[in-house]
């Protein structure tokens, strides 16, 4: 997992890197500049013979920009540093790099250093011919409030030139697009919209949490010499927010490969309580995903009328149980004893897709959750049947995994959807820690919260997955993986969410985002697994 650092944690990492390991701040800044320059050339192509304009503030982010300008100049670019302020008022390592560029600028017509002290001076810059690339090094992780004055105009200029149809100028941001607050996934005012963001040591919340992450463009993390252990914990600061990486999921899949002598009884049996009149499609989608995820056996429990329809819709490998139903085709309370009996001996119980929310269904779901002892996956209507969440707690032996979307999450917490969407990380962490649950809060960059308060951001997925049934597929993948390794619920959950998004990305690549439907995700689940094979 890649730790996601707060601004305070990042400052502490830099300080301890120097104090404990003798790596000076100036060397860290130089390493950052070299890494950023390599990333720029990888993304935008060789810079030799091209014009680059670097917008610098007076702090360390600006110092990074000055060092990048020198590295680009050494590679044959024409680099122009615009410092917004007086060089003499800059401090520390940033001042040293400004002084170096200022001195070298007198020796080469390809390296230029200019101080911008007024809006009139900036207006003169705007009137000049545009470069081939803009580098944003105005503000780094220290910004806490919205931009003001000349910096709003600078951001407006950078964004306008980026989107100019006639002669667009792409933007590379260093550490963060200026105008974002490092610890906030929401926008705080005017901000740069970058094509590439190169951040150092570890990502910050604004790099990876939407909507702020949308302003980053492609994100590349550059390691500049600080030990990884400091990013995990400095003693004063410990990372509780993490970015799921491909290597994490690949490692889980490699560690849980089937032995040569495996048989269906060794890889789990899922009981899926799903479907009702008019909603058998949800049960069918979840059913296939359970088996495509690798579970050995699947039994689907559904009202008797829906059972007949499901047999024609679901894949042939699924077994079914018809349970007593209400006149509306929902779950009669008489179904509860049969469901409890069916859950005995099963590896995982998954409840929710398409079950409806009749009063009797609500009672059935609550009895199942309270009385069963097997690991639980709860989604969709099951979550609404149990909202607001009370009393029921998960344990290490019997993990409970919830997969709400923001509206369902709001009902579970008994708050408004606006409260949830304003801070998804806090909402998910609150529910997970209060009741020892694993909470999968679905959406752009799905959030997974663990009982210990750690939160994980999933990087896969795309807007094409905003289609009916996509959540049912996730339920199936999660239940299918959990059946194979029920003693490792958190890693299973992270892998399931990642694979679900990856399958969606493969579907969008094949079909385009608009054409993706939920069954396309299941159809590409095998390709998602194969792409992660070592």
Q: Could you tell me where the DSSP H helices lie in 467-488?
A: 470-484
Residue 388 has pLDDT above 90, yes or no: yes
pLDDT of residue 311: 74
d(C-alpha 485, C-alpha 490), whole Å: 10
pLDDT per position as a tens digit, 410-439? 999 999 999 999 999 999 999 999 999 999
What average pLDDT does range 285-295 have in this prediction?
A: 97
Nearest to 253 by CA among 483, 521, 527, 499: 499
d(C-alpha 181, C-alpha 146), whole Å: 8
Reading the block at residue 229, the tokens are 């252990």
- Whole-Å CA distances, 175 to 28, 40, 75, 198, 404: 13, 13, 22, 5, 32
| CB neighbour list of residue 312: distance below 8 Å, 6 or more residues apart | none
d(C-alpha 523, C-alpha 515), whole Å: 14
| CB neighbour list of residue 426: distance below 8 Å, 6 or more residues apart | none
d(C-alpha 87, C-alpha 96), whole Å: 10
HEC sequence for 292-305? HCCCCEEEEEEEHH
Helix, strand or coil for residue 260?
Answer: coil
- Residue appearing with tokens 């689907």: 300
Residue 312 has pLDDT above 80, yes or no: no
Helix, strand or coil for residue 202?
Answer: coil
pLDDT of residue 313: 66
Reading the block at residue 114, the tokens are 């200019």
Ramachandran region, residue 201 (left: φ > 0; alpha: ψ -120 to 50; beta: rest) = left
Reported confidence tier of residue 314, pLDDT bands at 50, 70, 90: low
The alpha carbon of residue 170 and the mean position of all alpha carbons in its chain are separated, in whole angstroms, by 24
pLDDT of residue 308: 84
Phi, psi angles (nearest 5°) of residue 347: -80, -40
Reported confidence tier of residue 106, pLDDT bands at 50, 70, 90: confident
pLDDT of residue 142: 87
d(C-alpha 119, C-alpha 53), whole Å: 17
pLDDT of residue 61: 97
pLDDT of residue 168: 96
pLDDT of residue 534: 65
d(C-alpha 505, C-alpha 514), whole Å: 12
Is 165 within 8 Å of 174 (Cβ atoms)?
A: no
What average pLDDT does range 218-242 have in this prediction?
A: 96
Reported confidence tier of residue 533, pLDDT bands at 50, 70, 90: confident
pLDDT per position as a tens digit, 22-76? 999 999 999 999 999 999 999 999 999 999 999 999 999 999 999 999 999 999 9
Reading the block at residue 483, the tokens are 């059946």
Q: What is the CA radius of gyration of the chain?
A: 27
Is 325 within 8 Å of 303 (Cβ atoms)?
A: yes
| CB neighbour list of residue 277: distance below 8 Å, 6 or more residues apart | 303, 305, 306, 325, 328, 329, 330, 356
Mean pLDDT, the chain, integer: 96
pLDDT of residue 55: 98
pLDDT per position as a tens digit, 456-506? 999 999 999 999 999 999 999 999 999 999 999 999 999 999 999 999 999
- Whole-Å CA distances, 163 to 160, 171, 192: 5, 10, 12
The alpha carbon of residue 382 and the mean position of all alpha carbons in its chain are separated, in whole angstroms, by 25
CA distance from start to end of the chain: 18
The alpha carbon of residue 206 and the mean position of all alpha carbons in its chain are separated, in whole angstroms, by 11
More confident residue, 287 or 316: 287
pLDDT of residue 506: 98
116-153 burial, b if ≥16 CB within 10 A, otherwise e? beeeeebeeeeeeeebbbbbbbbbbbbbeeebeebbee
d(C-alpha 385, C-alpha 352), whole Å: 9
pLDDT per position as a tens digit, 164-204? 988 999 999 999 999 999 999 999 999 999 999 999 999 99
Reading the block at residue 30, the tokens are 């130089």
pLDDT per position as a tens digit, 139-173? 999 899 999 999 999 999 999 999 998 899 999 99
Is 445 within 8 Å of 457 (Cβ atoms)?
A: yes
* Residue 441, strand partner residues: 447
């Amino acid at each position: 997992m890649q730790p996601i650092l707060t601004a305070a944690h990042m400052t502490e990492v830099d300080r301890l890197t120097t104090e404990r390991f003798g790596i000076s701040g100036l060397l860290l800044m130089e390493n950052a500049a070299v890494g950023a320059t390599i990333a720029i050339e990888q993304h935008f192509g060789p810079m030799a013979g091209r014009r680059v304009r670097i917008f610098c503030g007076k702090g360390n982010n600006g110092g990074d920009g000055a060092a990048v300008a020198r590295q680009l100049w050494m590679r044959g670019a024409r680099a122009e540093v615009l410092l917004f302020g007086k060089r003499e008022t800059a401090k520390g390592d940033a001042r040293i790099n400004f002084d170096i560029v200022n001195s070298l600028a007198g020796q080469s017509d390809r390296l230029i250093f200019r101080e911008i002290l007024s809006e009139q001076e900036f207006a003169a810059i705007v009137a000049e011919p545009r470069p081939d690339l803009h580098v944003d090094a105005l503000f780094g992780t220290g910004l806490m409030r919205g931009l003001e004055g000349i910096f709003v105009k600078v951001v407006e200029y950078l964004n306008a030139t980026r989107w100019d149809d006639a002669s667009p100028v792409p933007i590379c941001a260093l550490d963060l697009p200026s105008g974002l607050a490092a610890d906030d996934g929401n926008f705080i005012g005017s901000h740069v919209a970058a094509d590439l963001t190169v951040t150092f040591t570890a990502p910050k919340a604004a790099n990876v949490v939407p909507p702020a992450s949308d302003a980053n463009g492609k994100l590349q993390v550059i390691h500049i010499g600080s030990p990884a252990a400091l990013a995990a914990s400095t003693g004063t600061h410990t990372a509780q927010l993490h970015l799921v990486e491909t290597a994490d999921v690949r490692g889980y899949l490699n560690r849980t490969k089937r032995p040569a002598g495996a048989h269906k009884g060794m890889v789990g049996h899922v009981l899926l309580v799903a479907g009702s009149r008019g909603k058998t499609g949800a049960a069918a989608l979840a059913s296939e995903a359970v088996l495509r995820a690798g579970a050995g056996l699947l039994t689907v429990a559904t009202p008797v009328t829906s059972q007949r329809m499901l047999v024609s819709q679901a894949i042939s490998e699924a077994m079914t149980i018809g349970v007593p139903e209400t006149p509306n085709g929902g779950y009669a309370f008489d179904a509860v004893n049969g469901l409890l009996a069916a859950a005995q001996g099963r590896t995982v119980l998954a409840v929710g897709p398409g079950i409806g929310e009749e009063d009797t269904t609500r009672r059935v779901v609550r009895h199942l959750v309270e009385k069963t002892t097997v690991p639980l996956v709860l989604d969709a209507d099951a979550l609404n049947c149990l909202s607001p969440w009370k009393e029921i707690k998960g344990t290490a032996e019997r993990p409970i995994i919830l997969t709400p979307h923001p509206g369902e999450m709001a009902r579970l917490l008994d708050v408004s959807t606006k409260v949830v969407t304003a801070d998804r990380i806090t909402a998910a962490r609150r529910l997970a820690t209060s009741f020892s649950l694993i909470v999968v809060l679905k959406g752009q960059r799905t959030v997974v919260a663990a009982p210990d308060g750690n939160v994980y951001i999933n990087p896969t997925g795309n807007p094409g997955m905003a289609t009916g049934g996509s959540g049912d597929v996730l339920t199936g993948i999660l239940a299918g993986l959990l059946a194979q390794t029920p003693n490792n619920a958190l890693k299973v959950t992270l892998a399931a969410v990642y694979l679900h998004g990856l399958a969606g990305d493969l579907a969008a690549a094949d079909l385009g985002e608009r054409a993706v439907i939920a069954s396309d995700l299941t159809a590409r689940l095998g390709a998602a697994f194969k792409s992660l094979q070592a």
